């Protein structure tokens, strides 16, 4: 059974800064990994699929990288609307989430 571990649990940054979120799989998942953003009171939104492909309508400041067991979601310059919880996912498994909060 694949386990996804996200780090850090909470990330405190200011608008304009660069955010780097990590997701580690307990065994290789090739490039079959997605990232979602969830804001309070809203459903999750697909950001990245296949580790590095942006979903439709996702701004270019969001990028994904990695393969095998180590993956990264990078937000190049934080906008106020980017502060949310981010989840990685591999098929039926989700990571526990990283909360990106305003510093």
Partner 1 sequence: EVQLVESGGGLVQPGRSLRLSCAASGFTFDDYAMHWVRQAPGKGLEWVSGISWNSGSIGYADSVKGRFTISRDNAKNSLYLQMNSLRAEDTALYYCAKDDDYSSSSYYFDYWGQGTLVTVSS
The CB-of-73 to partner 1 minimum distance in angstroms stands at 15
86 binds partner 1 (CB under 8 A): no
Q: Of the candidates 18, 39, 91, 103, which one interacts with partner 1 according to CB under 8 A?
A: 91
Three-state SS at 88: strand
Q: Of the candidates 13, 22, 55, 72, which one interacts with partner 1 according to CB under 8 A?
A: 55
Query: Which residues make Cβ contacts (< 8 Å) with residue 27, sequence separation at least 6?
Result: 2, 69
8 Å CB contact between 35 and 52: no
8 Å CB contact between 19 and 78: yes
Q: Measure the CA–CA gap between 59 and 97, rounded to whole angstroms.
A: 21
Q: Element (H or E) spanning 54, and its range?
A: strand 53-54
Q: Of the candidates 14, 56, 60, 80, which one interacts with partner 1 according to CB under 8 A?
A: 56
- The contact pattern for partner 1, residues 16-45, with x = CB under 8 A and - = no contact, is ----------------x-x-x-x----xxx
| Chain residues in the site for partner 1 (CB under 8 A) | 32, 34, 36, 38, 43-46, 49-50, 55-56, 87, 89-97
């Amino acid at each position: 059974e694949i386990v996804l571990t996200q780090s850090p649990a909470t990330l405190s940054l200011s608008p304009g800064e660069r955010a780097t979120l990590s997701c580690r799989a307990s065994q290789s998942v090739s490039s079959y990994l997605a990232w979602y953003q969830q804001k309070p009171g809203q459903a999750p939104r697909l950001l990245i699929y296949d580790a590095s492909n942006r979903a439709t309508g996702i701004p270019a400041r969001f990028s994904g990288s990695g393969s095998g067991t180590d993956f990264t979601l990078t937000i190049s310059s934080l906008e106020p609307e980017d502060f949310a919880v981010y989840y990685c996912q591999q098929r039926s498994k989700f990571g526990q989430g990283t909360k990106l909060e305003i510093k």
